[in-house]
A and B are shown apart, each in its own frame.
Chain A
Amino acid sequence: MGAPTSTGSGGDTGTDPATETDEPTGPATAPSASRRSASVRAASWSAGLTVVLVAVVLASATIGPVSLSIPVVAKAALNAVAVPTGVTLTAASVGLGGATATVPVPDLTYTYLFSFPVDGTAETIVRSIRLPRIALGVVVGVALASAGTVMQGFFRNPMADPSIVGVSSGAAVGAVATIALSLSIPFGIQGAAFAGALVTAFVVYLVATENGRTPVATLLLAGVAVQTFLGAVVSYLLLQAGESIEQALYWLMGRLHTATWSDVEVTLPVAAVCLVVVLVYTRDLNVLLLGEEDAHTLGIEVERTKRILLAVSSIATAAAVAVAGVIGFVGLVVPHMLRLVVGPDHRVLLPTSAIAGGAFLVAADTVARAGPAELPVGIVTAALGAPFFLYLLVTREVHSL
């Protein structure tokens, strides 16, 4: 892969003596170099980070009560690679309150691309136990990190994270209410969490919007207020939870250990679509960093763009927390780390943050399950992420976006 060159590390160019002495570059060479830069840098950094992600995935799959070698894991993992080749609709009965209804649910048929000979037990361990969890970790990490990148750019605030408009709190209320009150609703805890997340984000948006304008400062404050209120609701629900309090607490701490392939099947398409949409808006995000007024004079439909970005990143976050619970810090720290490395240009920052988020969450989850007692991954991401972030803060400049 093309290793990023010194011009590639945008965050460093200010202090890099090489670039400074380079200043009177002839007009013949400079344009081609910089014209390439954004797309080439995005591609090379993404390729590099994808290699890291694959390495993390494989390494993670070798770790567990039964130690497996990398080649075994690699073969078993490749055997699990499948592409959907057909859709059939099957009827599923859904219960709501007392009533049940039958709804058609799309059921995909898959074709597997590889079939390496692998020991049966090892294949089962990798494919049925470790890989769904790892795959879900990748999807959730990608969703949270890309949503976090968008939110930080959108709010022009380094403290913004994917939950800033109350998405996580809303999901928590939905999930904890379902657990604590033993509610029976369609799609269970995940459905309730997803619905709670989106309803909350929408309410925050409505509260902060006046005359078709949504000032980000108001949005941020409304988000904080709603989060505080919902935090109180969650605490109250926990008091009412009785014996199910442990399940509720585990959900709140964020965990991947219940992951199944069907979780991946539901979350992956949502996260993928959201990622594609925000990738289309990376230039707009760059221009929005100049301030909304400037963005308007540069031809951005500011309010419409804000609505789209807010909606898409809220949906991505909601999909992630619905299956994994509240996993903090990935969406806050990963974009900052990448911004230090690749610079503020969202055309490079967004794809790289997304991939790095996946790798980071899988690594953190591996730590969470490698110990003698399994920890909720939310604890690990915060415990690893916070000190690392503090280290960056002290040694490098993370004072702004």
Chain B
Amino acid sequence: MSDAPLVDVRDIVAGYGDESVLDGVSLSVERGEFVGLVGPNGAGKTTLLQTINGVLEPDGGQVLVDGVAVHDLSSRAASRRVATVPQDTTVAFEFPVEAVVEMGRTPHRGRFSGDPDGREAIERALDRTDTARFRERPVGSLSGGERQRVVLARALAQATPALVLDEPTASLDVNHQVRTLELVRALTREGKGALAAIHDLDLAARFCDRLAVLADGDVRAVGPPEEVLTGERVATAFDTPAAVVPSPVTGAPTVTPLSHPGPDGDADHWLGHEHGHDSRDDVGRDTGHDPEAVDLQVHVAGAGTAAARTVATLAAAGATVTAGVVPEGGLAASVAREHGVETVEASPFEPVDAATEAAARDHLVAADVAVLAGDLPPSLRALVRDHDAVVRVTDRGTGRGQTGNVEGAANGVETTSGEGTGSAEATGSADEFRVDSHTTPARVAETVRQVAERPAPADD
């Protein structure tokens, strides 16, 4: 029996009423293993956890815990095998912490015979989760992070081999997220098997031994985080382009979602939501084109999220994209590579040499539109601005670099006249279009097309 996985989910079909959520899911968790369950909202993560802890009776398949089918067990027997940390830890009642932890002993307590091991298990759980010091306080008076630990203590007091956690870090600050997951990982090192639904892909990748990607009612991939989390897989599962690069600090994969290639109607919604309906916003829409199709050659220069998003957006919109100079190994470079974009890269901390600059210049000359997105050394910035049609993508979200241009981005798109301002930023082209990388892909694509269609400015 000890060779079999601790939790063995076999071909589970489950749902609520007529609505099927899980369609033949199989997954296993070994003793001493921390498995993360990731996937978009509505993928069925909670449903899967509920079939494992016995709350939901599956329509097909079975879940074995320690070799026994959970759904053949009484609630009491099942609760001695699987403990659950629920998503909603709001205990609306004024029970003291210790009383809540004591409730974890319910499956071990005989109605008349009591629970001889209870005291010790409760003390250990309180100690382990560092909640002993507020044992007398009502749960309602604790912070979200402390309450999470109390619920975790309750699950520990249950003394089960398997632990199931539903979004244990969803409402916690960074510090408590890390502490919670560290604790869960430490518990698995002592022999428990844990399965946790985790929203934050970076955290999941950092703490879990294996990840299972759940999407559309099925497990799309299972394995070590670095194998499972690829840009393509994340893009398919979450329906959004994403860049995956190893974290320079932890080495675990980090996922940066880029932008959502949603339908235009969707984009309008977001735009209206963020900026209100400025009359200027509608100008570009009167052209009658499909606002997302960009049949142009576009060169993107810059760095960071702004450049990465722009490359992904324009590539998705059908433009022939070239990129450079972008920092070597950065987000923009990895996204460009993923989209098969011809890219000029340079070491981020050294002056750009003449050959690199020349390569970038070639791309620029060939491009219909030049896009400046994010940070760029001044010499290269000047190079880009020599182009007739320049779109500037600012990164309002972080305010990095482009300090002089941030305020111009407040309306999403802004045309500034470059004449006579004397500003180094504005010299070069007569008109400069600015677009905020946080608006929408459609807006970025549209602005690029608008710039290309505009009559060439007369040189002065």
Contacts and interface: CB of A to CB of B under 8 A. Distances in A.
Interface string B377-399: 00000000000000000000000
Contact of B84 (A35, A294, A302, A343): A294
Q: Which of B80, B135, B136 has the most CB of A within 10 A?
A: B136
Contacts of B177: none
A210 to B, nearest CB: 10
Size band of the A side of the interface? Answer: 35 or more
A283 B111 CA distance: 9
Contact of B86 (A34, A284, A297, A345): A297
Interface stretch (B87-95, B228-236, B339-347, B440-448): B87-95
A294 B107 CA distance: 12
Nearest to B83: A297
B106 A345 contact: no
A170 to B, nearest CB: 31
A297 B79 contact: yes
A225 interface: no
A300 B134 CA distance: 27
B202 interface: no
Contact of B135 (A30, A291, A297, A301): A30
Given A31-B123, A290-B103, A299 B80 contact: yes
Contacts of A301: 74-76
A14 B138 contact: yes
B96 A298 contact: no
Nearest to B100: A290
B49 to A, nearest CB: 10
Nearest to A20: B137
Contact of A298 (B79, B94, B119, B134): B79
B147 to A, nearest CB: 12
Contacts of B138: 10, 13-14
B15 interface: no
A205 B54 CA distance: 24
B428 interface: no
A31 B96 CA distance: 13
Contacts of B54: 296-297
Interface in A18-36: 19-20, 22-25, 27, 30-31, 34-35
Given A297-B82, A302-B75, A10 B107 contact: no
Nearest to A339: B94
A400 B106 contact: no
Q: Which of A11, A296, A299, A343 has the most CB of B within 10 A?
A: A299
B105 to A, nearest CB: 9
Nearest to B157: A298
A11 B76 CA distance: 30
Contact of B119 (A35, A280, A345): A35
Contact of B106 (A10, A34, A287): A287
A401 interface: yes
B316 interface: no
A23 B137 contact: yes
Given A297-B83, A344-B93, A401-B92, A14 B140 contact: yes
Given A10-B94, A296-B75, A31 B119 contact: yes
Interface string B116-159: 00010001000000001111111011000000000000100010
Given A30-B136, A296-B54, A302-B75, A344 B83 contact: no
Interface string B228-247: 00000000000000000000
A176 interface: no
B55 interface: yes
A290 B91 contact: yes
Contacts of A291: 86, 88
A184 interface: no
B430 interface: no
A50 interface: no
B349 to A, nearest CB: 50
Nearest to A24: B133
A27 B93 contact: no
Interface in A271-320: 280, 283-284, 286-287, 289-291, 293-294, 296-302
Contacts of A44: none
A400 B92 contact: yes
B86 A294 contact: yes
Contacts of B123: 27, 31
Given A13-B96, A344-B95, A298 B106 contact: yes
B180 interface: no
Contact of B133 (A23, A35, A300): A23
Nearest to B134: A23
B136 A25 contact: yes
B410 interface: no
B111 A280 contact: yes
Contacts of B104: 298
Given A280-B111, A283-B109, A298-B104, A13 B137 contact: yes
Nearest to B53: A297
B64 interface: no
B98 interface: yes
Interface in B393-410: none
Contacts of A260: none
A299 B103 CA distance: 10
B84 A344 contact: no
B352 interface: no
B20 to A, nearest CB: 17
B428 to A, nearest CB: 62
A79 interface: no
B167 to A, nearest CB: 14
Contact of A300 (B84, B94, B98, B106): B106
A19 B98 CA distance: 14
A7 interface: yes
A392 to B, nearest CB: 15
Contact of B103 (A10, A27, A286): A286
A34 B96 contact: yes
Contacts of A345: 95, 99
A242 to B, nearest CB: 51
Nearest to B79: A299
Nearest to B132: A27
A259 to B, nearest CB: 36
Nearest to B87: A293
B338 to A, nearest CB: 41
Interface string A95-127: 000000000000000000000000000000000
A22 B136 contact: yes
Contact of A286 (B76, B79, B95, B134): B95
B160 to A, nearest CB: 10
- Closest 3 pairs between A and B when the two form their complex, measured CB to CB: A299-B107, A299-B79, A297-B84
Given A296-B53, A345-B99, 16 more contacts: A14-B138, A27-B132, A30-B136, A34-B135, A283-B109, A286-B95, A286-B103, A289-B93, A297-B79, A297-B82, A298-B154, A299-B78, A299-B80, A300-B75, A302-B75, A401-B92
8 contacts: A13-B96, A30-B135, A293-B86, A297-B82, A297-B83, A298-B104, A299-B78, A299-B79
Interface of A: 7, 10-11, 13-14, 19-20, 22-25, 27, 30-31, 34-35, 38, 280, 283-284, 286-287, 289-291, 293-294, 296-302, 343-345, 400-401
